Amino acid sequence: SHRFVVSSLGEGARLKKYEQDFLWLVNAGVGLMVARVTEPRSPLKRTEKTTAFKLYESDTGMLASRYPGSTARAVYLDMKTPNLGGLYENVVAQELVALGADAWYCQTREVGEVDFVIEGAHGHVVPIEVKSGKKVRAHAALDRLMSVGEYKIPEAVVLSHENLSKEGKVLYVPIYMTFCLDEFMEKMTPITISRSHPYLSSHLNPQSSPAHASMHFPRCCAFRGKAAKKQRDKKPQQPRPHPSPK
């Protein structure tokens, strides 16, 4: 999850010499390249720096298999230690590619580094932070990015172990809902969801979410709630009588 440093390949190494090797890894489906942008404004490609990038693995399971046994066990058992931030970022990078989303990371001297930024079809930018530990609300770089008025970013997403909630412009989303991120690429009007909603009633964080939360709420979750209610209200089917033997 760290920026790849070409000089780590050897003394005097230059990107120009190894560029085709990196492209081969990406085109072969082995690696996922996430380039840096210096300004979270649409179009993001305008400030893309292809010489500064992060290289993720396209298969997180294969990545985890190369970790020491104790680290792999921590992943399977969902332990809080050791620091699994890099592995979590890899999961999100892999899912963004599966969703067909172009992703970058944003890094500036004034703001710091934000894990991912994606771009909506209507030109809005959504920053994404990934948290594997307990300090889910400690995201100084994201806060600084959101405080820059000229960027006009309406909403940010933090992926973590916590339940769905919203504080200000930051929407906290469980890591398992990463597959819903493509819906943040659409321009949606904030809607008011009551705590009586069948999905929210069990997934909203009561400490941080009011009784009626206005948020860009992924439709995939709303569908789950409706489907669950439909299943609960469905009357049990009566068994058909067996035909009597002739």
User: How far are the Cα atoms of 81, 126, 212, 219, 239 from residue 191, in angstroms, in the given order?
Assistant: 37, 18, 10, 11, 42
Question: Contact, 52 vs 36, CB < 8 A?
Answer: yes
Q: What share of the chain is helix, strand, coil (3-state, %, to 5)?
A: 35, 25, 40
Q: 22: which 2 tokens?
A: 């990196």
What's this model's pTM, rounded to 2 decimal places?
0.72
In tens digits, the chain (246 residues) has pLDDT values of 456 666 666 666 666 776 777 788 888 888 898 999 999 999 999 999 887 889 899 988 888 888 888 877 877 777 767 777 888 899 999 999 998 889 999 999 999 999 999 988 778 899 999 998 888 899 999 999 999 989 989 899 999 988 889 999 999 999 889 988 877 666 444 434 444 444 444 455 555 544 444 444 455 544 444 444 444 455 555 555 555 655
Residue with tokens 């609960």: 232
